[in-house]
Structure 1
Amino acid sequence: MNETEVLTLFSQGFDCSQIVLSEIRDELNLDDVTAKKVTACFGGGMFCAETCGAVTAALMAIGLKYGHYMPHATDEKNKAIEKSMEFKSKFLQKYPSLKCKEILGYDLSNPDEMEIITKKNLIPNMCPKLVIVTIVVLKNTL
């Protein structure tokens, strides 16, 4: 996946979270519709500029691959935590934070700051690269 493809998906109304999980869905035996629907409310840091949607989708993917679902599954739980921490550590080597507003430098849930984000073209200039980096880091973590 390249920046042009990511920008095309953004222009179609998809968010970073949807793009990340959809891109690796085959590795998780997940269909595209489910991947996009389950991540639909996580773009833009849950639309309140908190944890980056690309990061939340990556953590969902790690949970789908390594997460525990049975009681007292300590080994599985520890493996998921280990992989989650590994992903976050690698991501933080590339970006200063896991939070959308700290990555962008502005809070997209604040209308005044969203205006600045729009004027500076931060989403089309920053987010496609971030999505690609997230996918690469995620694939290297899975």
Structure 2
Amino acid sequence: MKIPDKKTAKSAAERKEYAISKFPSDYNCAQSVLRAFAGDFGAEEDEIVKIASGFGSGIATGQICGAVTGAVMAIGLYTSEISDRTEKKNKTYGLVRDFLKRFEEKNGSTDCKTLLGYTVTNPEIVKCLPEDMQPKIACRPFVESAVLILSDILDEDKKGNRKVIKNNNLKV
């Protein structure tokens, strides 16, 4: 499947469908979220898949959710064209804070283990779980949520309608 490019810019719902089209059969949560946005910024799917390969399953530790890290990497691509380093850093951090705040408000946490209620990296635990609690099913709502939230944030930012979050008390 071709990464959506600027010519085929997608709605949030289309991005969500694209993100889950190969999750979890071919790609992890981070890869799935990042690839839904990568084409807008001229990134190649092969490179995206390589870059995000270690970020699934809470960076392979059950810590920060891979869908969250995929979205944060997409934000980095979004702000990559800003030439002034200070401006780029401020813009990136503001978007990341906004994303983290919204993701946490919707899902209760940004931590993989907290979101799932178990450590996804422990195969002994995972194999004993019922089908609906397996990561391939249980993580899907977080992939979808990350894509929809980031789509909203980027749309707001492009239109100049986003409130800038300079500091907050996230539990991340």
TM range (shorter): 0.7 to 0.9
| CA distance 1:7–1:128, shift in 2 (3 Å) | farther
Report the aligned-residue RMSD: 2.5
Change (3 A) 1:4 1:127: farther
Shift of 1:111: 3.4
Is the Cα–Cα contact under 8 Å of residues 7 and 128 in structure 1 kept in the other structure?
Answer: no
Where does 1:25-104 land on structure 2 (aligned, <5 Å)?
25-66=38-79, 73-104=85-116
What whole-Å deviation, never above 9, does each CA across 1:90-139 have from its counterpart, x for those lacking one?
111111111110100001122332234x4353223321121111111111
Report if aligned partners of 1:49, 1:99 keep a CA contact under 8 Å in 2: yes
Report the counterpart of residue 24 of structure 2 in structure 1. Answer: 10
Q: TM-score, normalised by structure 1?
A: 0.84
Matched, 1:134 2:146: yes
CA offset digits 1:50-80 (Å, max 9, x no partner): 111110011011112225987x822221111
User: Residue deviations 1:1-56, cap 9 Å, x none?
Assistant: 56797265312x31111111111111121111111111011110112101111100
Aligned match of 2:130: 119
Distance in 2 of aligned mates of 1:65 and 1:35: 14
Instruction: Tell me, yes or no, if the aligned pair for 2:31 and 2:53 is still in contact at 8 Å.
Output: yes
* Counterpart-to-counterpart distance in 1, 2:30 and 2:19: 15
TM-score, length of structure 2 as denominator length: 0.71
- Contact 2:57–2:66 at 8 Å: present in 1 too? yes
Share of identical aligned residues, percent? 29
Q: Which amino acid aligns with 1:29?
A: G
Larger helix percent: 1
SS across alignment from 2:109: coil
